[in-house]
Amino acid sequence: MIEADKKDFRIVSTDTMDPVSGAGPAAAARTPDELRGCVRRIMRHVGSTVTIITTQTTQPFGMVATAMMSLSLDPPSLAVAINESASICNPLHERGRFCVNILSSNDEGVSRRFTQLSGADRFSAGNWGTELHGPYAGIPFLKTAQAVLFCQVTQSLTSGSHRLILGGIQNVTYRQTDDPLLYCDGSYGIFRRNGQGAAAQLDDRLFVCN
């Protein structure tokens, strides 16, 4: 059973089952390596939409990412988490502008090739375009993506091995389809509606573009 402490919003678990194995009483405190292993296994089973984050300085940079989330609609903004060792990390911070390309199910081949290649060669996979003028000039965007969000870095902070980038969304392009490329437990997948009942409303502040 899970109880919410309304005073400080802590979540207190009264379960005696091990939250990972589901067997026997919960184990004693895990070692740091054991905890990292458990968290890695749990996060592999969190299904996510596949994106490619891009920017450009002296050359184009990009990375496949699932650690992207909507942050706010007032103003429109999002957050992406990037490993500080990633080649795109410092160039993105330097340029201060980036694109989030939300892949469609037809872009699975682009994602696979993108992860196999490195540097500017990654952009030989897929149909990429760039703006010739303006603040996003030279930053690649995927023409076949389900949506592209053009963002300006508004804030960044470092936590552990990653840098969290907050981006103000300045412009968007999108297709009138619900066909995102998904990723879970090391495999790609597609979105399928269950067809039961009315559309689910998870939060009354969510907004859908029409």
What rounded mean pLDDT belongs to the chain? 82
Q: What percentage of the chain has pLDDT greater than the value 90?
A: 58
Domain at 48-190, CATH class? mainly beta
pLDDT-derived band at 125, boundaries 50, 70, 90: confident
Residues 92 and 55: their CA atoms lie apart, in Å, by 6
**Residue bearing tokens 């872009």:** 107
At 201, the pLDDT band (50, 70, 90 cuts) reads: low
The residues, ordered by sequence, that sit 6+ positions from 115 with a Cβ below 8 Å of its Cβ are 64
Please give the Cα distance from 130 to 124 (Å, whole number). Answer: 14
Mean pLDDT of 28-45: 79
Domain ranges, ordered by start, for the chain:
48-190
- Measured CA angle at 87 (ends 159, 153), to 5 deg: 60
Predicted pLDDT at 30: 82
Amino acid at 149: L
Least reliable range by pLDDT among 107-111, 177-181, 189-193, 199-203:
199-203
- Which tokens sit at 103? 């892949």
Q: What is the DSSP letter of 103?
A: -
